[in-house]
Chains A and B, each alone.
Chain A
Amino acid sequence: EIVLTQSPGTLSLSPGERATLSCRASQNVFANTYLAWYQQRPGQAPRLLIYDASSRATGIPDRFSGSGSGTDFTLTISRLEPEDFAVYYCQQYGDSSPLTFGGGTRVEIK
């Protein structure tokens, strides 16, 4: 099973600042890029932001971008908006044990 480790656990930033979130896999994810990022606001279901490491999902603003391959992945939010303060999860798929999630990174207002 592929284990995903997210860092940092909590990120304290101000609106307008840049956020950089990391996700490291214990081994190469399937096809080196089968990695997704989700946003979860309080009381809401997760929302897909990025799939296949760098493709933005439908309706996602371009301030969200994903990069990386193999075992090291990054989600970048170029300029934080008030609605971006939430918890972010990475997820790998395509393995024989289909899905695993990272432990999450909370982006909080500084």
Chain B
Amino acid sequence: GQQLNQSPQSMFIQEGEDVSMNCTSSSIFNTWLWYKQDPGEGPVLLIALYKAGELTSNGRLTAQFGITRKDSFLNISASIPSDVGIYFCAGFYSGNTPLVFGKGTRLSVIA
């Protein structure tokens, strides 16, 4: 089946640094989503991207939908301790088809 390659698997950064993570797919998607999951919680939707080339921001978060429709990145600027968690990319092709998830990026922020 479809697979998403998400990297890096984990990151340790200093508070205030910028963070970048990305996902690539073997096939195209029409929508890319980025989620954050805190321990013991369900994933929370951060950003949704609907068009190839789209660049969208949500506060300190910026994500882009790759022009080939096979990749996306998420940037976090000026990281803070509450950014700690696992970030997942996910994609789907059409509205009612299930998501395909990346394996996640575990972010640790050192104060």
User: Do A and B form a real pair?
Assistant: no
